Amino acid sequence: MRQSGNCPKCGRQNATGQPFCESCGAGLFGGTEHYEWPPLHILALDQQSKLILGFKLKSGSLVVLPAITTDGKLSMLAAGYETHFRDLQERVRNHIKMVYADCQSHVCFCLSVLVEDNPKFNGLAVFHVWNVAGNLRRSPEMDYFHDSMSRVVKVVADPYWGELEQFFSSEPQRSWINNLVTDLKRGYDWSDYVARRLSEKGFDYRGKWTDDVWVNDELERL
């Protein structure tokens, strides 16, 4: 973990692990090294069915979510077990139907925190902080992202995964993704939103945890 970090609102330096800024009270975040805290991952969402994409590890029962974040970096987020994934799928789709039914395209963005060792929890724990944005215009970019990620079968040492990440990290895709991430963070006050939601779930920033999991296994699409 980093020793300290600057508040995204006022710039005050705060100790790592502190949930709120000492100066202005804004939500803070800490954990594994990343581009900018708190990270925001864009999930692969089917623009027709409004279902987020998930894969089950062939050698186990855990489910992961393919996503993309700053600079076109591809990532895999922990979704828990299949029951947890199905529940998240349904909640996202219902939220879209209730709030953004008149929109042509949707973006589901998420932070998935996998806690491996924490004094408050017994065993593995997964927390999801997510929200949805809608657009009245159709977004072919979101269709392409979902369709390309749905064909992933492996991550480590897989040529297709490498080609995808190279494509999304190249211009003009990279700038489009970075602008989208920046707009979503600003529009939804992401730092405060994440801090509040994790605080509600009892996450206390201590122990070993990560937002992006290492997947070295064949994948089975759900």
pLDDT in tens, 95-125: 999 999 999 999 999 999 887 766 666 667 8
Task: Report the predicted TM-score, pTM, of the whole model to 2 decimal places.
Answer: 0.83
Query: What residue spans define the domains of the chain?
Result: 1-30, 38-221
- All residues at 6 or more sequence positions from 133 whose CB lies less than 8 Å from its CB, including other chains: 100, 106, 107, 109, 184, 187, 188
14-23, 72-81, 105-114, 188-197: the lowest-pLDDT one? 14-23
CA-to-CA distance for 40 and 110, rounded, in angstroms? 6
Report whether 12 contacts 6 (CB < 8 A): yes
Is residue 91 predicted with pLDDT exceeding 90?
yes
Residue 95's CB: how many other CB atoms inside 10 A?
16
What integer is the mean pLDDT of 200-205?
75
Token pair belonging to 154? 């492996």
Q: Which residue has better confidence, 211 or 150?
A: 150
Mean pLDDT of the chain: 85
Q: What is the pLDDT of residues 145-185, one digit of tens each?
A: 999 999 999 998 899 999 999 999 999 999 999 999 999 99
**Percent of the chain residues past pLDDT 90, beyond the cut:** 60
- All residues at 6 or more sequence positions from 90 whose CB lies less than 8 Å from its CB, including other chains: none
What is residue 93's predicted lDDT score, i.e. its pLDDT? 97
